């Protein structure tokens, strides 16, 4: 490594400072173009997430099996019982159809008796299960 003379070193320093002084950062203007349907989908997702809460309510499992059969069972159930929520949960190797969101065991047992007439392998899921 060779050492530059003081005049060349000073010239190099001044040149470097001059070039770096002219460097500008990007403007901080941000334009966000968002599809209005995005907010609608986000609100739907929030609504669904609040309605699915398995920790403190009783639920009823009406089916356990293949994916196609689970989807058909859930759609049939929702058609027959539009006021009761339902969802499909994958638990290896089966898809389970879970319905209801009952706060008390009495309410869940009442609905369980009605649902047992239509579906064969129905049972009650306790909170936290």
- Could you give the domains of the chain? 56-125 (3.30.70.1070)
pLDDT score, position 56: 81
Residue 118: partners with Cβ closer than 8 Å, 6 or more residues away: 80
pLDDT score, position 52: 60
pLDDT category of residue 11 using cuts at 50, 70 and 90? confident
> What whole-number distance in Å separates Cα of residue 87 and Cα of residue 63?
11
Q: What SS3 state is found at 100?
A: strand
- Asked whether 66 and 95 are in contact (CB, 8 A), the reply is yes
**Quick check: 53 pLDDT over 60?**
no
In 3D space, the residue among 87, 82, 88 whose CA is nearest the CA of residue 65 turns out to be 88
């Amino acid at each position: 490594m060779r050492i530059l003379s003081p005049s060349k070193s000073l010239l190099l320093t001044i040149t470097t400072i001059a070039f770096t002084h002219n460097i500008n950062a990007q403007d901080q203007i941000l334009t966000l173009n968002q599809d209005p349907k995005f907010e609608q989908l986000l609100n739907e997702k929030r609504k669904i997430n609040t309605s699915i809460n398995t920790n403190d309510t009783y639920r009823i499992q009406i089916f356990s099996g293949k994916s196609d059969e689970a989807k058909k069972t859930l759609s049939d159930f929702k058609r027959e019982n539009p006021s009761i929520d339902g969802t499909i949960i994958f638990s290896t190797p089966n898809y389970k159809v879970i319905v209801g969101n009952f706060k008390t065991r009495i309410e869940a047992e009442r609905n369980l008796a009605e649902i047992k007439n239509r579906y064969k392998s129905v049972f009650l899921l306790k909170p936290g299960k």
